[in-house]
Amino acid sequence: MDSQANPSDLLPESRIDLLLQWKGKHMAGNFSPVAKWLNGKLIDASEGSLEIEYEVREDMCNPMRTLHGGIASTILDDIVGTMVYALGGEFAFTSVNLNCDFLNPAFPGDVLTAKSTVVRKGKNIIHVEGKIFKEDGRIVAKCTSNMIQTGFKIPTPSAE
């Protein structure tokens, strides 16, 4: 490091900037153990939207060798939660509900794109949507969720 550089200058300006450091990369080094296991590749992040690509692995499947509904729900919950985290609020949010629809199967080796968006951001509740698409554009699963603000303050990243 340059002796003239201030360590705080190396910190991202926003949580979106923090996420964008992963753009084009697999998120195996992510702070979330679930995100590490899912190992998605960040495609894009912006204010109120997030896009991550996932490859369906054998260990994500049910006995029929299709993407397990619980794993699809996990992808959706993780992508909407990460998107809300990126909004930069002082306090963490948690899911009140997660309503999922499973519309098409996905198989090992399929590359899926998950997208999330904020529908409405209130003072204490944020309504979000998420969708998982196959490469041909078919929707594998979709969700809506309401997330409520908690009393847990999100720590500020340090330069250590």
Burial of residue 27 (CB within 10 Å: 0-12, 13-18, 19+) is buried
19 domain-assigned = yes
pTM, rounded to two decimals: 0.88
Mean pLDDT for the chain?
90
Q: How many domains does one find in the chain?
A: 1
Task: Give the model confidence (pLDDT) of 31-58 as tens digits.
Answer: 688 999 999 999 999 999 999 999 999 9
Q: Is 1 part of a structural domain of the chain?
A: no
CATH code for the domain of 128: 3.10.129.10
Residue 159 lies in a domain: no
pLDDT tens, residue by residue, 68-112: 999 999 999 999 999 999 999 999 999 999 999 999 999 999 999
With respect to residue 160, please indicate whether it lies within any of the assigned structural domains. no
Residue 61, domain member (yes or no): yes
Query: What is the pLDDT, as a whole number, of residue 77?
Result: 97
User: Does any domain span residue 149?
Assistant: yes
Percent of the chain with pLDDT over 70: 88
- Residue 100 near residue 58 (C-beta atoms within 8 A): no
Name the residue range of residue 77's domain. 7-153
Q: Which long-range contacts (CB under 8 A, 24 or more apart) does 2-8 make?
A: 7/159, 7/160, 8/159
* Higher pLDDT among residues 129 and 2, named by residue: 129
Residue 141 covered by a domain? yes
- Asked if residue 137 is part of any domain, the answer here is yes
Rounded to whole angstroms, the Cα distance separating 152 from 93 reads 8
